[in-house]
Structure 1
Amino acid sequence: MLYTGVLTKMQTEFLEPIQYYLVFENDFIHVNQLLNKTIDIKLIGHQCLSCGLNKSIYRQGFCKTCFFDKPFAGDWIMRPELSTAHLGKEDRDLDYETKVQLQPHIVYLANSSNVKVGVTRKSQVPTRWIDQGAHEAVEIVEVPNRYLAGITEVALKDYVADKTNWRTMLKNDIKDEDLLEWKQKLKAYIPEEALPYFIEDNTETHIKFPVEHYPEKLKSLNLSKTPHYSGKLIGIKGQYLIFEDDTVFNVRSNEGSVVELSI
């Protein structure tokens, strides 16, 4: 089978194990069904996820112009503490920023390579944890806007990591952690504005990924450097495809790539 389309992050379904789907304009691929099959990946071009033009991808699937102009690539996306819609202050497009920033957000702890703190919209739980390759996660606070979530994350990352070590995550070199215990320890450092939103009574969410076995020596596939690759798929974790020869391919970091997939 031959599939052609623009890569975007894999869609997921929270089952045991997680179910993964690649969505192209004219094709829908259930990636779990490709486990133990050889996949041939060929880069044939690029397409900006915003303007749709065949332009080099700068970051996050966008060309350089769209990355610096469009509201969905503003600095507050990666740094939620910079959100200003709650003040009625525009960054790039106040209507868009109001819609996204002024909705319930979760500050959470996740264990993907180590215990880390993160922020996501409530509507993206547990998708965000799945995309990060977390085996377990728990909500700390649920706040009404992105700014409050951002300042909470900034305060807590002085005491716990805020990034995932992707190599450790993919090797599955992870120890179980009591995230509820961590949550209680960190409560003392939550900013006063966010403390009323602390979630007292909840449980850990556990996530199982479809991986036959984990790689030992990782080789990251970069399509701009290796535009043609073929390998046997043995696992899917986070937004990574894991191949038998220890090659790993981050679908999300290759968004905007136009590819041919041959199965």
Structure 2
Amino acid sequence: MIYKGVLTKMQTEFLEPIQYYLVFENDFIHMNQLLNKEIGLKLVGHQCLSCGLDRPIFRQGFCRSCFFEQPVAGDWIMRPELSKAHLGQEDRDLEYEKRVQLQPHIVYLANSSNVKVGVTRKSQVPTRWIDQGAHEAIEIVEVPNRYLAGITEVALKDHVSDKTNWRNMLKNDVKDEDLIAWRDKLKSYIPDEVLSYYIEHNSETNIEFPVEHYPIKPKSLNLSKVDSYTGLLKGIKGQYLIFEDDTVFNVRANEGLVVELSV
């Protein structure tokens, strides 16, 4: 069977283990059901997630012009401390920026390859942690806008990482950490204007991924270079498909590619 569509990040369902769905315009595929089956991926084109045109993808699923023009790709997405909607100041589209920035945000600790600090909208918990391949996570603060979350992350990343080592995450080269102890240790570094939003009493969230075989030496599949690939699917973690020959494919990093998926 062959499915064809534009890649966007896999949708997830928070169960044990996580359930993954690849959603195309006219189909959706329950990826967990493809474990231990041979699947093929073939690049057949590009489709910008904003303008919909067949243009080379620049970043985040957008063509070059949309990446530098659309509000959904503003610098404050990756650097929340640059958010200005709470001041009424526009970056690219103030109404859009108000909708996204002026809502509850969470600063959290997640353990995927190491303990890291991150920011997400409250509505994206636990999806954000799943997408990062974290096997445990905990909220630190809940604030009313993205700016306050951003300045908290900036303050904390002097004392804890803000990056994930994707290879270690995929190899499952991780250890359990006491995230409650980490949270309490970092409390003294939270900016004064955010301290009242500190979450005092909560517990870790644990996440189980559908992986039967972890790669020993993960090698990333780049469809733009090889056009097609066929392999036996052995696991899914974060937004990665893991194959028996240690090939891994980051679905989210390839958003905007039009592919044929054969089973």
* TM value normalised by structure 2: 1.00
What is the number of residues matched between the two proteins? 263
Match of 1:171 in 2: 171
1:57 aligns with 2:57: yes
What is the alpha-carbon root mean square deviation over aligned residues?
Answer: 0.3
Letter matched to residue 110 of structure 2 = A
Match of 1:155 in 2: 155
For residues 103 and 117 of structure 1, the distance between their equivalents in structure 2, rounded to whole angstroms, comes to: 19
Letter matched to residue 153 of structure 1 = E
Stretches of structure 2 that go unaligned for 5 or more consecutive residues are none
Match of 1:227 in 2: 227
- How far did 1:259 drift? 0.2
Letter matched to residue 74 of structure 1 = G
Stretches of structure 1 that go unaligned for 5 or more consecutive residues are none
Deviation string 1:224-258 (CA, Å, 9 cap, x unpaired) is: 11110000000000000000000000000000000
SS in 2 for 1:224: helix
Deviation string 1:9-50 (CA, Å, 9 cap, x unpaired) is: 000000000000000000010000000000010000000000
Deviation string 1:174-233 (CA, Å, 9 cap, x unpaired) is: 010000000000000000111000000100000000000100011100111111000000
**Which 4+ residue blocks in structure 1 deviate beyond 6 angstroms?**
none
Match of 1:113 in 2: 113
Alignment of 1:41-190 (within 5 A): 41-190=41-190
SS in 1 for 2:248: strand
SS in 2 for 1:225: helix
For residues 32 and 204 of structure 1, the distance between their equivalents in structure 2, rounded to whole angstroms, comes to: 25
Deviation string 1:87-138 (CA, Å, 9 cap, x unpaired) is: 0000000000000000000000000000000000000000000000000000
Calculate percent identity across the aligned residue pairs: 81
For residues 66 and 195 of structure 2, the distance between their equivalents in structure 1, rounded to whole angstroms, comes to: 37
For residues 159 and 226 of structure 2, the distance between their equivalents in structure 1, rounded to whole angstroms, comes to: 39
SS in 2 for 1:59: coil
For residues 71 and 248 of structure 2, the distance between their equivalents in structure 1, rounded to whole angstroms, comes to: 31
Match of 2:197 in 1: 197
